[in-house]
Amino acid sequence: MFRFRFEQILNYRKILEEQVMQEFSEQVRDLDGEKEHLRSLRSQKETLLAELMRKQAGTLSATEISLYFDYLKRLREREVAQIILIADKEKALELKREELVEAVKRRKIMEILKQKKLENYWKEWNHRESVELNEQGIMRFLKRYGDEKTDHNL
């Protein structure tokens, strides 16, 4: 029966890979959420600008214009902060991707080693089986023809 002596290490590496993959997936979902938030901010800004342009056709007081510009300024600041946050999350995601690639490599190395050990095991098993069958054949041959020789000598 084949037993891979590094099976525990292989299992451990599989578990690590799954954990890193789960963390990677969470970071991807988080990054997607942040990008969606940025799209929302930009949409709010576009809507506000369109509303301001529409109202400029009528009469706007200086106070209303000031309020619009203050709100636009805050939206721009939030947009810039969101862009920086997304850039940071993308860097973290890239590091996690590299960690995942490394975890996959480590697992694959162990799986390749296991496969080679299994192939060697079957080669040795087939060789032993062949030797045993040859010995059995020789024994049968000697038993069959060895008895005939002793009978002829009598």
Its sign, for the CA torsion 70, 72, 76, 82, is positive
Tokens of 19: 């954990």
Intervals of the chain under pLDDT 70: 147-154
Question: Which pLDDT value is given to residue 139?
Answer: 87
Q: Which long-range contacts (CB under 8 A, 24 or more apart) does 15-20 make?
A: 16/103, 16/106, 16/107, 17/100, 17/103, 17/104, 17/106, 17/107, 20/96, 20/99, 20/100, 20/103
Residue type (1 letter), 90:
E
Q: Note the pTM of the prediction, 2 decimals.
A: 0.73
**Maximum Cα–Cα distance across the chain:** 136
